[in-house]
Amino acid sequence: MDALRADRSTAPNSLGAAVGRTLFIGGEIYRVSSYGAKHPLAIPRVSTVMDLSRALGWLPDDRYLESPVATPAQLARFHAPDYIAAVQAGEREQALPDDVRKRFGLGELGNPFFREMFRRPATAAGASIKAAELLLDPGGPRIVHSPAGGTHHGRPDRASGFCYFNDPVLGILRLLDGGVTRVFYADFDAHHGDGVEDAFVDDDRVFTLSIHETGRWPRSGALDAQGRSICNLPVPPGFHDDELALLLDEVVLPCLTASAPEMVVVQCGSDGLAADPLSRLALSNNGLWRAVRLMRREADRLLVLGGGGYNPWTVGRCWAGVWGLLNDHDMPSELPGAARAVLEGLSWRRSAGRNPPAHWFNTLADPVEAQPIRGEIREIAAVAMADR
């Protein structure tokens, strides 16, 4: 893998070459699959990002790959075979015996039975595994974006937090199996990346960093839950772009630099955006885009995943913008008609969907507003870096 680092540093115009070699992994399954009408994941997300990116001219065919479906053998690199079999049976039968349901966390409110309950998460897992294989190839892409990924709560033997399989873990394991010795995992989801942290808590090859809302489910990732290869930054409600920028500069970048990773994996959950219903954070998509730009600037090879995000307009615009910045496209101040049509075709059962603001249809970037940085955020940064 050191050869990859040398290749980037010696190639002429190496940054341009790295940025230019990007790949988007998507899937048509997300266009027809839903967790159920009342579930937060009833909304279209990946398909919206695909359609919006194509409408903007950002996703030509040679940059797109239809995701493979992970096989049970591939999933078993992290997940228990009997659990995998239970998810398959749940898809096939749309029911499981009560003891099996309770044992594996299946058929619950957050992790319901639905028509593609094995194929959909196995497709997201297949994308992360395939992305890792492509990034391991010296002649492959340097940046891969898989917005269907980021299911960071999945456990080896049970579903958790809408996550049946843990695709970030499976992707990182594939990198490690391929000879990578240092991976930096940055999680910007509003919810703590507990499944990924726990998977690598005893593996110094993987540094896990999570910025998440304090007290939010799964109520893990406390500020005192730090380690040599773990950094947790639980932030208060109202956390905004300027506060994120401070943590990026004073904690995330120093941790990334010190870990000297060969690969960087970013979980880019958009549920910390101000208009998302499942958190009380106040980020704009500009803040998340800055985080991704920082990761891209520092990474030799980069895997960018999705994650949470439960407002169809904010998640679609955010992740389309992520793909745009990974390809150095300028963010349009006003969307062309084809892109507006994608956003105008969305609907949302929540009250905010009845009268959406105009910028959800007309532009990608959220309005920017400078805000004061609270002392609490500075204290979080100080504590996190105290013993590093």
Catalytic residue among 153, 192, 212, 240: 153
Q: Which run of H or of E encompasses 266?
A: strand 263-267
Cα angle 19, 146, 15; round to 5 = 10
Residue partners of 149: CB distance under 8 A and separation at least 6: 124, 127, 128, 131, 167, 168, 171, 267, 305, 306, 307
Give alpha helix (H) positions in 189-283: 194-199, 241-247, 253-259
Residue written as tokens 């959950």? 269
Residue type for 139, please?
G
How many other CB atoms are found less than 10 A from the CB of residue 190? 26
Q: Is 212 a catalytic residue?
A: no
SS3 label, residue 316: helix
Q: In what order do the strands lie in the sheet with 22-26?
A: 64-66, 22-26, 143-146, 302-305, 263-267, 183-187, 206-213, 230-235
* CA–CA separation, 348 and 97 (whole Å): 34
* CA–CA separation, 45 and 248 (whole Å): 26
From the list 63, 351, 376, 70, the residue with the least C-alpha distance to 246 is 376
Q: Which residues are catalytic?
A: 153
